[in-house]
Chains A and B, each alone.
Chain A
Amino acid sequence: MTGTLTATGKAGRRVKGGRQAFIEQLMGVGFAFPAFLLLAVITIAPLIALVVLSFTDYELGATDTAVVGLANYNKALADPVFRRALRNTFLYVALVLPGAVLLGLFVAVLVQSRTRTRWIYQVIYFLPVTSTLIAMATVWQALLHPRLGPVGATLRLLGVGEVAFLSEPSLVLPTLAVIGIWQLLGFNMVLFMAGLSAIPRDLYEAAEIDGCTGALDRFVTITLPLLGPTTMFVIVTTSITAFKVFDTVAVMTRGGPAGSSEVLLYTIYLEAFQYFHTAYGAALTVIFLLFVLVFSGAQAFVLERRVHYG
């Protein structure tokens, strides 16, 4: 990364004359300007505004606004609703992350070793990624309906009583997590398959000559280490995606029953855009951003040390 930041670019070095260097600078600025302007207006300015707002008591439409320092943050940290949302979100991530990553890898390995049927499995497992989650969430709701859905019917056949997947507080997050895994699995599978196909075949042959004969052996000594960068990327994107869970909660449970599926983004949405507690919503958003940054930062850092780059 730092290399690209300090690099001067080969194209530039070749140009010695002042006129062409000047034209190049002018074109560079001109080409980058629209993107820079949009970035400033759409991302940077709102980001600054967000942080500023979080230190005030601004509410949309209010005439009086005062600076309140850390009051919003203190309120958030003491707020049982917010703390519960944070706990629920992390629990959701903890459930989705291993499922979506390990199953994604497992399916990728199995699908990759197929030849004629590979594309069929690829299509099947990838289908949920392209489908509109909101629409599929309503279908899942029907599937999981205790009395009318096929899942309930199957459980009845097996002699298990009625299970209220979405209205039983202890079951609602795991149920949403299963749907989250269902949605993410194909995405991770495709990424892992790309990683797998980049591993040179002769490495396996070399390993076999070196006495690495078992398939499991080869998987652990070659496949896993060489998949390091892919795995790191998959873990980071999966945890961030899971951390941003919103759609299924908004459609299927609305945070219920009794707040047991209220997650961070849903709480932010309610505070900022439903109750119009603008400043408080801003503080919650800042906390949300910090978590996202820590997620990508820490994971990249920790994994960078363990990953073997092929």
Chain B
Amino acid sequence: MSAHTLPSIIGGRRIAPRILAHAVLLAGSVFMLLPFVWMLATSVKPPSEVFSSTLSLWPSRFYGRENYTLALTTAPLFRFALNGVILCTGILVVQVLVAIPCAYALAKLRFPGRGILFVLVLLGLAIPVQVPALPLYIGLAHLGLLDTYFSMMVPFFVSVFAIFLFRQFFKSFPNDIIQAARLDGMSEFEIVWRIVVPSAWPAIAGFSVFSIVAHWNDLYWPLIVINNVRLAPPPLGMMFFANAETGSNYGALTAAATILTAPLVITFLFARRQFIQGITMTGIK
């Protein structure tokens, strides 16, 4: 298959390869979109049609109101979404506030321990959160902090990835400007926040996308520290919901899935460019 479509790669202006490329991409699109389409379709179907095992997409009887009402009354779905917003905001704000000065110091300042710190950052890049999870859990349990927003956020307060990414950006910032600002009597603090940070805006925006997508969708850590349903972020909330008695009610289940998936997907559709740039940035290492 690839041999046939490849001629269209580089400036192939003939019609046949282009049609073939579209055909392949559209076939792939069906696979990519099928779950979303099915989710939306099922969420407005009455149970009788869900279980009729026919292949119709649109229901003969619109049942969306009932399904969404049932989903929203069975579980606090908006609360889950709100928890997701709180979680992502809290994590992101601390990550950025901590990473920026550190990245600036690593990029532009000479200070004792800089080499060691950078090695730690590089090592940290290879350690997924599942590794410190167990000791962190024990520590939080001893401090009586399990089942709090804080416990959900704390492992992510320092992002070595953010430090690494920002450092790359700050390094290319001209030293002359920093030096001139110093001579003008600006403090390093002012230099960072008023001169260097505005220039690194694409990196910060890119990282924000990366961080929000990761933490909105993270299940592992909240699953460990959260028992209280009212504190659950979207993935954990969805899991609670699926495990509840509605588990076999596909209409309500897909309605819930739609509500919990929608915020991020809609944000993505509106900020497509930022999302894709953000993800691309993670590839520049």
Real complex partners, A and B?
yes
Assess the A216–B6 pair: CB atoms within 8 A.
Answer: yes
Given contacts A35-B102, A138-B238, is CB(A273)–CB(B157) below 8 Å? no
Assess the B9–A113 pair: CB atoms within 8 A.
Answer: yes
Main secondary structure of the interface of A (DSSP, over half): helix
Looking at the complex, which one of A42, A123, A214, A234 makes contact with B272 (CB distance below 8 Å)?
Answer: A123
Cβ-closest chain B residue relative to A234: B283
Looking at the complex, which one of A46, A131, A186, A191 makes contact with B36 (CB distance below 8 Å)?
Answer: A131
B21 at the interface (CB under 8 A from A): yes
Assess the B257–A135 pair: CB atoms within 8 A.
Answer: yes
B188 at the interface (CB under 8 A from A): yes
Assess the A130–B110 pair: CB atoms within 8 A.
Answer: no
A298 at the interface (CB under 8 A from B): no
A74 at the interface (CB under 8 A from B): no
Assess the A28–B269 pair: CB atoms within 8 A.
Answer: no
Assess the A28–B260 pair: CB atoms within 8 A.
Answer: no
Q: Using Cβ atoms and an 8 Å threshold, which residues of chain A touch B216?
A: 132
Looking at the complex, which one of B50, B135, B219 makes contact with A148 (CB distance below 8 Å)?
Answer: B50
The number of chain A residues with a CB under 8 A from chain B is 114
Q: Using Cβ atoms and an 8 Å threshold, which residues of chain A touch B113?
A: 29, 32, 36
Q: Min CB distance, B179 to chain A, in Å?
A: 7
Most buried by A among B33, B34, B131, B136: B131
Q: Min CB distance, B15 to chain A, in Å?
A: 14
B122 at the interface (CB under 8 A from A): yes
Cβ-closest chain A residue relative to B254: A139
Q: Which of A9-17, A64-72, A76-84 contacts B (4 or more CB under 8 A)?
A: A9-17
Assess the B130–A244 pair: CB atoms within 8 A.
Answer: yes
Given contacts A11-B175, A282-B134, is CB(A35)–CB(B235) below 8 Å? no
Q: Using Cβ atoms and an 8 Å threshold, which residues of chain A touch B224?
A: 269, 273
Q: Min CB distance, B167 to chain A, in Å?
A: 9
CA distance in complex: A215, B2 (Å): 11
Main secondary structure of the interface of B (DSSP, over half): helix
Q: Using Cβ atoms and an 8 Å threshold, which residues of chain B touch A134?
A: 217, 219, 234-236, 238-239
CA distance in complex: A4, B121 (Å): 13
Assess the A148–B115 pair: CB atoms within 8 A.
Answer: no
CA distance in complex: A49, B142 (Å): 14
Q: Which of B59-67, B85-93, B274-282 contacts A (4 or more CB under 8 A)?
A: B274-282
Q: Using Cβ atoms and an 8 Å threshold, which residues of chain A touch B234?
A: 132, 134-135
CA distance in complex: A51, B285 (Å): 30
Assess the A215–B9 pair: CB atoms within 8 A.
Answer: yes
Looking at the complex, which one of B42, B101, B131, B132 makes contact with A142 (CB distance below 8 Å)?
Answer: B42
- Can you name 21 A-B pairs with beta carbons within 8 Å? A11-B110, A31-B101, A42-B154, A47-B127, A110-B5, A110-B8, A110-B9, A111-B25, A114-B25, A117-B22, A131-B265, A132-B261, A133-B219, A136-B35, A138-B242, A139-B254, A182-B31, A250-B219, A250-B239, A292-B128, A296-B126
Interchain residue pairs A-B with the least CB separation, the first 9: A28-B111, A12-B110, A46-B132, A35-B102, A28-B109, A31-B101, A46-B135, A38-B158, A135-B257
Given contacts A234-B283, A272-B133, 12 further A-B contacts (CB under 8 A): A12-B109, A44-B120, A46-B132, A46-B135, A124-B33, A127-B36, A132-B234, A133-B235, A140-B35, A142-B250, A194-B284, A251-B238
